[in-house]
Structure 1
Amino acid sequence: MWLFELSWSTQTIIFLASLILVIKIYLHWTCGVCTSTKRLDGKTVIITGANTGIGKETAMDMALRGARVILACRNLDRANAARDEIIASTRKTNVIVKHLDLASLKSVRAFAHDILKTENRLDILINNAGLAALGPELTEDGLDNQMQSNHFGHFLLTNMLLGLIKKSAPSRIINVASEAHRFPRKLDFDNLNFKTDGKGLFKIYGVTKLCNVLFTKELASRLKGTGTIVFCLHPGSVKTDVGRNCPLWLKCITWPFCTPFFKSAKEGAQTTIYLAVTENLEGLSGSYFSDCKVAKESKLAKDEGLAKKLWEVSEELVKIQKDELHL
């Protein structure tokens, strides 16, 4: 055969290219896709970190469905650019930018107060923003930056908006988690700021994602019978800038080999969109999803006692006030 007449190096290149193609085709056909055509006219959606990646793709979809979409972002320049792109692409103008820095509890409170003052409903809250691969560093609030951006900030934001969300029922809260929630073997409540044993590159990220799942479980339990349902999800390995803080050496070693198999941002947004619009999911509140279907969490993530304890510790660390609780 002609293939065997080629040089060994050429055969290797052809084999690797074919293998990549086969894997890409497999990943494409097994990627979950939201097929719902449900409209969201008259509904209001807040998406944190919506200026890039799967957050922006989710916002694009929500706008196309007729929703009033609020992009809650730290970088206003990038957020305004994303808003302009969404409006130009969808021809829907009800897209608003508001400042939110999850690494500042003051900013979270200011954003929440603004929403409660200016919005008369909130149908879908999508806690999408996140950081990865940061070493231990503290925010102005004395909390670990990655923990606050990925969990504590969203915990406070959700609690402060719960009254409005429940008033808008049937309503939904969606937390973007990750398969990285499987990394931790324990949750050390005395070390959530990682003052000790926090040097592993993805250790903190894994803990934050475990907290996302546990938060979802406990919140769903507390919201039973209110008409508000809660989900968390793994978006997949997606080509976004969530890993922008990774060391350059890691990007150089892994990115060329891994990114060919990553989902696009649009593909990565499908499960979030699915959970935002698919009907008849009430009985699955508190569940963890991947590729638009229910997936199994880690054993640790199923621990109800752990979820309750995390809630109590989170309340204490964000110094939540009685008038900020709406459960």
Structure 2
Amino acid sequence: MQAIRNLFRASWSSPQRLDEKTVLITGANTGIGKETAIDLAKRGARIIMACRDIERGQAALKEVIEASANPNVACMKLDLSDTNSIREFADSFNKGEEKLNILINNAGVMVCPYGKTADGFEMQIGVNHMGHFLLTFLLLDLIKKSAPARIINVSSMAHQFGSINLEDINSEKSYDKQKAYAQSKLANVLFTRSLAKRLQGTSVSAYSLHPGVVQTDLWRHLNGPQQFVMKVARPFTKNSTEGAQTSIYCAVEPSLENESGGYYSDCAPAKCSAKAQDDDMAQSLWELSCQKLDIRWE
């Protein structure tokens, strides 16, 4: 169904400018993160590319500047699998930047073998959810000060197959890499939902989105049969530029100014799963995340 929609969808475009705006994009050195950076830089924004590998980040930085003809682009080191790195990054950002108008939580890991972050989180829930949860918390005062502002969480349609296991959030009792990925993407949507409620009246909006089935290096952990299926499906998938469009839409579309908490796909509102609309689970996940990260976020 998605593939058929992709074939016939009208492309979205907007002349919206972002002059005098500052945008932070995690995982901006590759894939849809880099394409998002290029597009928003062309609109005149100051772009901060937050990258785990600073050498790859610097190489991507040159590409973004050349492609956008905007020299106001910087690269900063951020390892979302290490809360010390996240805190150091946020401290540096808060001290060095005057504003943050758009935060795009784009970085992620997908269906990787079992591993843990520096803080003992299962890698996918740790990077995709906990890391971005903490980053957003640490930057929120600056974001509020910069309002109107937007926070965008890149999720996936895979959230529909996920469920949150509050008793075993780190998949220590049993690990299925697809289920762990789906759990982390469901967490992105639930986080967005809770965040939007807490941001009411602040002129800061939050959105989550499915970028589409995108040809990215996130596929590298798929097994042989899965790789084959993706090759067969390739004509129905998106390249990185196409995959970045819904992130860009959520960042710049004027009609979303007074919308918050929604889920988007193909540059339009989309239906998320029933589990993604469970406010009790969203609250429980919020409380668990605060407890695990040792933060107080009311």
Counterpart CA distance in 2 for 1:162 and 1:131 is: 24
Aligned 1:146-185 pairs, distance under 5 A:
146-184=124-162
Tell me the equivalent position of 2:164.
187
Find the residue that maps to 1:172 and give its secondary structure. strand
- Deviations along 1:30-87, one digit per CA (max 9) or x if unpaired, are 1x63321111111000000000111000000010000000000101111111110111
Counterpart CA distance in 2 for 1:293 and 1:204 is: 27
Check the 8 A contact 2:125/2:184 in 1, yes or no. Answer: yes
Check the 8 A contact 1:239/1:264 in 2, yes or no. Answer: yes
Tell me the equivalent position of 2:37.
59
Check the 8 A contact 2:101/2:147 in 1, yes or no. Answer: yes
- TM-score for both structures, normalised by structure 2: 0.96
Q: Is the counterpart of residue 244 in structure 1 residue 223 in structure 2?
A: no
Counterpart CA distance in 2 for 1:88 and 1:164 is: 29
Check the 8 A contact 1:177/1:212 in 2, yes or no. Answer: yes
| CA 1:157–1:264: 2 relative to 1, 3 Å | same
| CA 1:314–1:113: 2 relative to 1, 3 Å | same
Which residue identity lines up with residue 231 of structure 1 in the other structure? Y
Tell me the equivalent position of 2:200.
224
Counterpart CA distance in 1 for 2:251 and 2:56 is: 24
| CA 1:43–1:263: 2 relative to 1, 3 Å | same
Counterpart CA distance in 2 for 1:95 and 1:33 is: 27
The gaps in structure 2 that reach 5 residues or longer are none
1:139 corresponds, among 104, 107, 117, to 117
1:196 corresponds, among 153, 166, 173, to 173
Tell me the equivalent position of 1:40.
18
Counterpart CA distance in 1 for 2:4 and 2:110 is: 28
| Identity over aligned pairs, percent | 47
Find the residue that maps to 2:249 and give its secondary structure. helix
Counterpart CA distance in 2 for 1:180 and 1:196 is: 22
Tell me the equivalent position of 1:300.
275
- TM-score for both structures, normalised by structure 1: 0.87
Find the residue that maps to 2:50 and give its secondary structure. strand
| CA 1:91–1:180: 2 relative to 1, 3 Å | same
Tell me the equivalent position of 2:292.
317
Counterpart CA distance in 1 for 2:117 and 2:210 is: 26
Check the 8 A contact 1:136/1:195 in 2, yes or no. Answer: no
Counterpart CA distance in 1 for 2:132 and 2:249 is: 21
Check the 8 A contact 2:22/2:102 in 1, yes or no. Answer: yes
Aligned 1:61-76 pairs, distance under 5 A:
61-76=39-54
Q: Is the counterpart of residue 253 in structure 1 residue 228 in structure 2?
A: yes
Find the residue that maps to 2:207 and give its secondary structure. strand
Find the residue that maps to 1:141 and give its secondary structure. coil
Counterpart CA distance in 1 for 2:246 and 2:70 is: 23
Check the 8 A contact 1:131/1:243 in 2, yes or no. Answer: no
Which residue identity lines up with residue 50 of structure 1 in the other structure? A
Counterpart CA distance in 2 for 1:279 and 1:223 is: 18
Counterpart CA distance in 1 for 2:177 and 2:122 is: 14
Find the residue that maps to 1:243 and give its secondary structure. helix
Counterpart CA distance in 1 for 2:179 and 2:120 is: 19
1:100 corresponds, among 72, 78, 82, to 78
What is the deviation of 1:283? 3.6
Check the 8 A contact 1:87/1:93 in 2, yes or no. Answer: yes
Counterpart CA distance in 2 for 1:57 and 1:308 is: 33
Check the 8 A contact 1:136/1:193 in 2, yes or no. Answer: no
Check the 8 A contact 2:113/2:221 in 1, yes or no. Answer: no
Check the 8 A contact 1:33/1:271 in 2, yes or no. Answer: no
Which residue identity lines up with residue 84 of structure 1 in the other structure? K
2:6 corresponds, among 14, 19, 27, to 27
Counterpart CA distance in 2 for 1:282 and 1:24 is: 29
What is the deviation of 1:251? 5.1
What is the deviation of 1:26? 6.4
What is the deviation of 1:135? 2.9
Counterpart CA distance in 2 for 1:189 and 1:153 is: 17
- Point out the structure with max Rg over C-alpha: 1
